[in-house]
Amino acid sequence: MLIIPRSTEIKKRREALKLSQKQLSLEAGLAGNSIYRIETGESKKINHLRAREIARVLGCNVEDICSVPERSA
């Protein structure tokens, strides 16, 4: 499932932990520039498993940093 990252919330939490974009990417097991792409809006949607790993590193819930797009009926 793809979900929408809240880029400003991810950035705020990352900076509060004094992590660089690359550090967060690597600690979450993602490519080195993944967080850069999310925070700049280049990545509009991300896999829920990636979001879970980002949230784990940031010490929060996925719902704190992402929103689930509404499904069409």
How does pLDDT run across 34-56, given as a tens digit for each residue?
999 999 999 999 999 999 999 99
Whether residue 22 is contained in a domain is answered as yes
Instruction: At 21, list the tokens.
Output: 């974009």
- Which amino acid does the sequence have at 72? S
Q: What is the pLDDT of residue 70?
A: 72
* pLDDT tops 80 at residue 73: no
Dihedral (C-alpha) 52, 57, 61, 64: value to the nearest 10 degrees? -100
Secondary structure of residue 3 in the 3-state scheme? strand
Whether residue 62 is contained in a domain is answered as yes
Indicate which CATH number applies to the domain containing 37.
1.10.260.40
Q: Are 6 and 71 in contact (CB under 8 A)?
A: no
The total of structural domains in the chain comes to 1
Whether residue 72 is contained in a domain is answered as no
Whether residue 73 is contained in a domain is answered as no
pLDDT digits (tens, 9 = 90+) for 5-36: 999 999 999 999 999 999 999 999 999 899 99
Widest CA span of the chain, in angstroms? 42
pTM exceeds cut of 0.85: yes
How far apart, in whole angstroms, are the C-alpha atoms of residue 54 and residue 63? 11
Supply the range of the domain harboring residue 45.
Answer: 2-67
